[in-house]
Amino acid sequence: MMTMDREFSTPMMLQYMEIKRQYPDCLLFFRLGDFYELFLDDALIGAKVLNITLTARPRGKDGDVPMAGVPYHASEQYLAKLVKAGYKVAICEQITEPDKRGIVERAVVRIVTPGTVLNENSLQQKENNHIVSISRGEEKGELVIALAFADISTGSFVTTQVTAQNRQEFEQLLLTELLRFQPSECILPNNLYNEGEFLGLLKKVSSLNIFPFDQWEVFESDAANYLKNHFGISSLRGFGIETKTYAKVASAVLLGYLNHTQQQTVSHIKKIESYKPHEFVILDRSTVVNLELFETIREGEKQGSLLQVIDKTVSAAGGRLLKNWLIHPLKNKKNIEQRLDFVEECVFNRNLRSKVIEELSGIYDIERIVAKLSVGLANPGDLLNLKLSLQKSLEVKKLLLELKNNLAVQLSKEITEEITVVIEWIAKQILDNPKIDIRSGGIIREGVSERLDKLRNISGGGKSWVKELEQKERERTGISSLKVKYNKVFGYYIEVSKANLDHVPSDYYRKQTLVNAERFITDDLKRYEDMILNAEEEIGELEHRLFLETVSKVVQHTQVLQNTAHAMSVTDVLSSFAVLAQKNRYTKPELITTGEILIREGRHPVVETVLDESQFVPNDTYLNETDYQLLLITGPNMAGKSVYMRQTALIVLLAHIGCFVPAESAQISLVDRIFVRSGASDIIASGLSTFMVEMVETAHILNHATQNSLIIMDEIGRGTSTYDGISIAWAVAEYLVTSGLHAKTLFATHYHELQKLAEQYPEKIQNFQVAIENDNGEPIFLHKVIPGGASHSFGVAVAKLAGVPEIVTKKAVKILSNLEKKAEEIKGENKKINTSDLSEKIVADLQAIVIERMTPIEALQELARLQEIASKK
């Protein structure tokens, strides 16, 4: 392995090493002519990740230097690959024109990192790309954590600062917030980066690239002033972070990092929004995963997720906002109702809605265009797309004004007349079909610059001048086949065929000899050629300058452009809710304050769309804070308990984002958290045992649920032995109704013993079951949730349905009947598990063993297990 310490002596390699030393954590894309080259260790990485050839080129006295390169015009896709693989890349350009003296100067013009990439190949249209900085500290003996999130591609910047009582809460808070934004990159101060435990925690967040930021302390020390300078304000009070030390640090450092990567000020970041996690309904990681909001548990695919079913947005920004809303459900009744009223009006006013959608679907990604304009990565086409989008925004504004609801009025105000200035400005400056390359002309309209028009006349007039010259020279020399031509190598020349060479006058200078012709130039021609070429060069430069001027004028309106983009995406999401409501027959939920949840004929939004052969059976849900606080749902696996509980959670969630819900009618009291605890398989990879994870999550719920929370507990206690499981489930259910939490709970279990709880707490708990019809021992699942407890598990029948061999199921039936004969019911919370129960269990287990089917090892293991049970006596 070669090292970066290698000594070099050629000027180029010296220059390379000098620059590389400044960006040790980046791969250096070193511009050499038409290529970006990677050298040394970078070359090894690049060759491997990009699957390009590694060469070892001799560099004079320096000997062989490993090198791998990509052509500059195709660099975007290679950059995207490297960034996706989690590398940071510093782009080093030639900043002077090459001439004979010495080597050209080079400098890094921007750094591309996973969280700051602006290249379209790396960004998903309907997804934000967040970067986060994390700052940690202590205040009054409590742990404080601050996070700042930015999406440089849209200009959004938010921060929060929270305190935690203990380490566990700290971790939970951190993970929940990271989950909200799903950042692709995280920057940390060196001390945190070197803290193994902390790093391990962050590594739980999938696809997060974690980097230390060397200049952390620089920005930390003067955080407040740095922020004030950037935003041009004298106080941070407006942002709500004036007194929040750590939020200020996280924000300042993040902003500093963004400026550092772009090698310029990210001026399109116009404000910081601070939020408190409790402003929104909190969805924990396990809730997000188990409700399959963004991807399915099993395959991790978007197809089959809630988002995929409800996303009818037509613009990229709308798609991003919907995702954002889904993870930030509102808690303010008025705000939710505003959204619902908008949706309702769109449901009924179909004509208007379809007009709105037609306009919206023609809109480009205004947020991202503005970002590109701000950091100088935009091309003239982007400006035209912006213009078109703004024109459509004005159409949408008109349509919004036809709507009666408050939100529509507010949104229409966000689209101000100021954008007509931008539209007109772009229209005035930029040609209808501009060239995409910003350096070679063909961008700016006639009449914008006198000088430009003059230069264009000169270069355009060239053609007629050439024609005239040709005519003149033909007459003068008498050579009728004489031609004035142009090529890239020789410029303008006069071509005379071999036969006519005698007539060539003396003021022709020979330039090139071909097989049957010779090419000449004259002083006149040379002068004219210079003039034209100079003009063209100047046109290129002038148009580039005028383009940059146009951009900078547009960028002055960033705030109003971002407001417009916001209004457009809100309109998109809300009108898409109306489309969804009509298409999937959703109804408007009514928000109530009685603490009840009342859903009639509710459906699971995702399952109802995928069921094919069988049909989805709708179910009612009723929960309140008293006698229906906890619904204990029993019934065999496959009966639909999980779907039922999840559908309730999803309907409640959808109501909180202002979306109509899949039900005949729904009355929803607002909640502060939704917990979904389930024996899902996603945690196996984390290394913890299933049971451990289950208990950690249970503890989390019991510690954090409030009177206004909605809890879904699916098969708690499944990960341990039956008696353990029953006992834990029992205790947890009892705690939920006795501890004063009053959280509305759907509690599913296949331990029928728990049904006794309802007798014990009739003022709190109701038994429900999923209806089964018994057809000669074969269960027919009716998928209908009805009052009462289930009496039969049909476990063996289900096993049979699943194709378990008959010899096994028959044996199971025998064991079951033995157990049922002997089993004693658990009577109360203080009932002790006595030793005779254990003996019976051991006997039953022994009977169940089929020795001839066991390997010796398995037999030994079984023996050990039995001994362990026996030793508990």
Tell whether residue 17 is a contact of other proteins (CB under 8 A): no
**Least CB distance to other proteins at residue 715 (A):** 21
Report the relative pairing of strands 517-521 and 590-592 from DSSP bridges: unpaired
Cα-to-chain-centroid distance, residue 567: 20
Tell whether residue 582 is a contact of other proteins (CB under 8 A): yes
**Cβ–Cβ under 8 Å, residues 297 and 688:** no
CB closer to other proteins, 264 vs 308: 308
Q: Of 237-245, 251-259, 544-552, 772-780, which segment contacts other proteins by CB under 8 A?
A: 772-780
CB closer to other proteins, 576 vs 709: 576
Q: Which of 488, 583, 821, 853 binds other proteins (CB under 8 A)?
A: 583
CB closer to other proteins, 30 vs 781: 781
Q: Which of 34, 763, 775, 852 binds other proteins (CB under 8 A)?
A: 775
C-alpha separations of 26 from 76, 212, 461, 553, 745 in Å: 16, 12, 50, 33, 51
**Cβ–Cβ under 8 Å, residues 715 and 678:** yes
**Least CB distance to other proteins at residue 664 (A):** 11
The DSSP letter of residue 617 is P
**Least CB distance to other proteins at residue 616 (A):** 7
Residue whose tokens read 């899949």: 662
**Least CB distance to other proteins at residue 714 (A):** 20
Q: Which of 126, 783, 800, 841 binds other proteins (CB under 8 A)?
A: 783
CB closer to other proteins, 613 vs 763: 613
The DSSP letter of residue 661 is B
Tell whether residue 346 is a contact of other proteins (CB under 8 A): no
**Least CB distance to other proteins at residue 768 (A):** 13
CB closer to other proteins, 398 vs 784: 784
The DSSP letter of residue 107 is E
Residue type, 3: T
Q: Which of 5, 773, 825, 868 binds other proteins (CB under 8 A)?
A: 773
Q: Per CB under 8 A, which of residues 670..709 are in contact with other proteins?
A: none
Token representation of residue 6: 């290698």
Which residues sit opposite 146 in a β-bridge?
Answer: 135, 161
Rounded distance, CA 306 to CA 650, Å?
A: 9
Rounded distance, CA 807 to CA 429, Å?
A: 83
Residue type, 411: L
Beta strands in 580-635 (DSSP E): 590-592, 597-602, 619-623, 630-634
**Least CB distance to other proteins at residue 614 (A):** 7
CB closer to other proteins, 780 vs 802: 780
Token representation of residue 492: 């303008």
Nearest to 584 by CA among 229, 309, 281: 309
Beta strands in 43-125 (DSSP E): 55-58, 64-71, 89-94, 106-112
Tell whether residue 231 is a contact of other proteins (CB under 8 A): no
CB closer to other proteins, 310 vs 617: 617
**Least CB distance to other proteins at residue 735 (A):** 33
The DSSP letter of residue 595 is S
**Least CB distance to other proteins at residue 567 (A):** 27
CB closer to other proteins, 23 vs 616: 616
CB closer to other proteins, 495 vs 601: 601
CB closer to other proteins, 786 vs 843: 786
Tell whether residue 84 is a contact of other proteins (CB under 8 A): no
Helix-, strand-, coil-residue percentages of the chain, each rounded to 5: 50, 20, 35
CB closer to other proteins, 153 vs 634: 634
Which residues sit opposite 70 in a β-bridge?
Answer: 36
**Least CB distance to other proteins at residue 655 (A):** 22
Residues 6+ apart with CB under 8 A from 718: 679, 694, 725, 750
Rounded distance, CA 37 to CA 849, Å?
A: 67
CB closer to other proteins, 582 vs 708: 582
**Least CB distance to other proteins at residue 617 (A):** 5
**Least CB distance to other proteins at residue 350 (A):** 7
Q: Which of 771, 790, 797, 826 binds other proteins (CB under 8 A)?
A: 771
For the beta carbon of residue 831, count every other beta carbon within 10 angstroms. 12
- State in Å, rounded, how far the first CA of the chain is from the last one: 62
Tell whether residue 792 is a contact of other proteins (CB under 8 A): no
Number of residues that bind other proteins (CB under 8 A): 19
**Least CB distance to other proteins at residue 782 (A):** 4
Rounded distance, CA 310 to CA 198, Å?
A: 36
Q: Establish how many alpha carbons lie within 13 A of residue 827's alpha carbon, considering only the half-sphere containing its beta carbon.
A: 5
Q: Of 378-386, 461-469, 702-710, 774-782, which segment contacts other proteins by CB under 8 A?
A: 774-782
**Least CB distance to other proteins at residue 603 (A):** 9
CB closer to other proteins, 458 vs 786: 786
Q: Which of 431, 786, 843, 849 binds other proteins (CB under 8 A)?
A: 786
Torsion angle in degrees (nearest 10) through CA of 819, 823, 829, 833: -80
Residues 6+ apart with CB under 8 A from 725: 716, 717, 718, 719, 751
Q: Which of 233, 548, 780, 807 binds other proteins (CB under 8 A)?
A: 780
CB closer to other proteins, 117 vs 581: 581
Nearest to 324 by CA among 334, 311, 314: 311
Cα-to-chain-centroid distance, residue 748: 33
CB closer to other proteins, 462 vs 605: 605
Q: Of 90-98, 261-269, 394-402, 780-788, which segment contacts other proteins by CB under 8 A?
A: 780-788
C-alpha separations of 248 from 220, 277, 819 in Å: 8, 17, 64
Residue whose tokens read 């230069």: 455
Angle between helices 380-402 and 558-584 (to 10 degrees): 60
**Least CB distance to other proteins at residue 358 (A):** 12
**Least CB distance to other proteins at residue 400 (A):** 22
Q: Which of 52, 109, 431, 782 binds other proteins (CB under 8 A)?
A: 782
CB closer to other proteins, 648 vs 709: 648
Q: In what order do the strands lie in the sheet with 509-513?
A: 483-487, 491-497, 517-521, 509-513
Strand, coil or helix: what is 298?
coil
Q: In the stretch 726-765, what mask flags binding to other proteins with x, by CB under 8 A?
A: ----------------------------------------
Q: Per CB under 8 A, which of residues 499..538 are in contact with other proteins?
A: none
Tell whether residue 585 is a contact of other proteins (CB under 8 A): yes
Q: Of 41-49, 252-260, 378-386, 775-783, which segment contacts other proteins by CB under 8 A?
A: 775-783
**Least CB distance to other proteins at residue 657 (A):** 22
The DSSP letter of residue 503 is G
Q: Per CB under 8 A, which of residues 607..636 are in contact with other proteins?
A: 612, 614-618
Rounded distance, CA 743 to CA 673, Å?
A: 10
CB closer to other proteins, 206 vs 615: 615
Tell whether residue 428 is a contact of other proteins (CB under 8 A): no
Token representation of residue 73: 């015009």
Tell whether residue 646 is a contact of other proteins (CB under 8 A): no
CB closer to other proteins, 265 vs 582: 582
Q: Which of 350, 451, 545, 873 binds other proteins (CB under 8 A)?
A: 350
DSSP symbols for 534-577: HHHHHHHHHHHHHHHHHHHHHHTTHHHHHHHHHHHHHHHHHHHH
**Cβ–Cβ under 8 Å, residues 346 and 575:** yes
The DSSP letter of residue 251 is H
Site residues, other proteins (CB under 8 A): 350, 582-583, 585, 612, 614-618, 771, 773, 775, 780-784, 786
